[in-house]
Structure 1
Amino acid sequence: MNDIYVTAINDTNEYLVKSIKLKPGQEKFIETIEECLEEAKLDSQWRPVMIQSKENIVGFAMYGSFGPNKETWIDRIIIDRDFQGKGLGKKTMLKLIDIITKEYDVKEIYLSIIEGNEIAYNLYTTIGFVYTNEKDPNGERIFKYTIK
């Protein structure tokens, strides 16, 4: 996890993440980075971040905490197609979990998965996310990670 760095995205560095690309077929599982950044600008509770490994920009993620119960979500995570399959998704998720639990002082983190995204499903369940038997308004399955 020490080779993963998370940097907040702002007006001076957001252009760096706009070059991140998905593998063909993955675009049906996640919004574009431009859409994510626009959503974060409209709702300041979202934290868009750039994921780096060594000197490389390898991905993008977005997380936030909402409401009186501080329901905390990892809403987006994208690893660039050139860096997929190298364990960086798992390292990034573990790093984000660590950051989020400290930043928000929470014991539960949520995320959702679009039906058919088996790579994400396998990654998240391997880490310890568990299906809550609920779906979000878009029909995505909601998973929860409980900090032990």
Structure 2
Amino acid sequence: MSNLYFRDIDKTNVCIVKNIKLKPGQDKFIESIEKCLEEAKAHHEWHPVAIYSDEEIIGFAMYGSFGSNKDTWIDRIMIDQNFQGKGFGKIAMTKLIDIVSKEYGVNVIYLSIIEENKIAHRLYESIGFELTNERDPNGELIFKYTRKF
């Protein structure tokens, strides 16, 4: 699992990325990949990436930084149903935190989740994200990660 890495989405991998499937019922917690890619095309602040293990695409993520305060978000992450429950999500989030922190020069990263997504809630808290007691414009719970040196 240490061979987990990210690549930009381009014509060589977009079809495979679009075929990532979640477990039944998980689609109510996150937008479709097609919608994410449309959003990234319309708002260039978003950076969509494919998550690889060795040479196999196992997931998708999207992150970005906005405004003069550089509010930085890991906005979407999903692991294909065939790779869930194997620790890939936690490894991917940990690596994304490092990449995003360095790319944008920030120590604070945000994310939001639908309140009913208890599995994501536990995962993010186990990594070090803390609930802010705020909600985003869609009513999702906002979590904040402060990078410690």
Task: Answer whether TM exceeds 0.5 for this pair.
Answer: yes
Return the alpha-carbon distance in structure 1 between the equivalents of residues 52 and 2 of structure 2.
11
Return the alpha-carbon distance in structure 1 between the equivalents of residues 115 and 21 of structure 2.
21
Q: CA deviation at 1:16?
A: 1.9
Return the alpha-carbon distance in structure 2 between the equivalents of residues 38 and 82 of structure 1.
25
Q: CA deviation at 1:12?
A: 3.8
Identity, in percent, stands at 66
Cross-structure match for 2:32: 32
Report the number of matched residues: 148
User: What's the CA shift string for 1:42-68, capped at 9, x where partnerless?
Assistant: 000000000000122100000000000
Structure 1 unpaired stretches of 5+:
none
Taking structure 2 as the reference length, the TM-score comes to 0.97
Taking structure 1 as the reference length, the TM-score comes to 0.97
Root-mean-square deviation (CA, aligned residues, Å) is 0.9
Task: Spell out the pairing of 1:124-139 with structure 2 (5 A cutoff).
Answer: 124-139=124-139
Return the alpha-carbon distance in structure 2 between the equivalents of residues 80 and 14 of structure 1.
14
Cross-structure match for 2:111: 111
Return the alpha-carbon distance in structure 2 between the equivalents of residues 54 and 12 of structure 1.
16
* Further displaced range: 13-22 or 117-126: 13-22
Which consecutive segments of 4 or more residues in structure 1 shift more than 2 A?
10-13
Structure 1 residue identity aligned to 2:50: M
Return the alpha-carbon distance in structure 1 between the equivalents of residues 39 and 14 of structure 2.
14
Q: CA deviation at 1:14?
A: 1.4
Structure 1 residue identity aligned to 2:94: L
Structure 2 unpaired stretches of 5+:
none
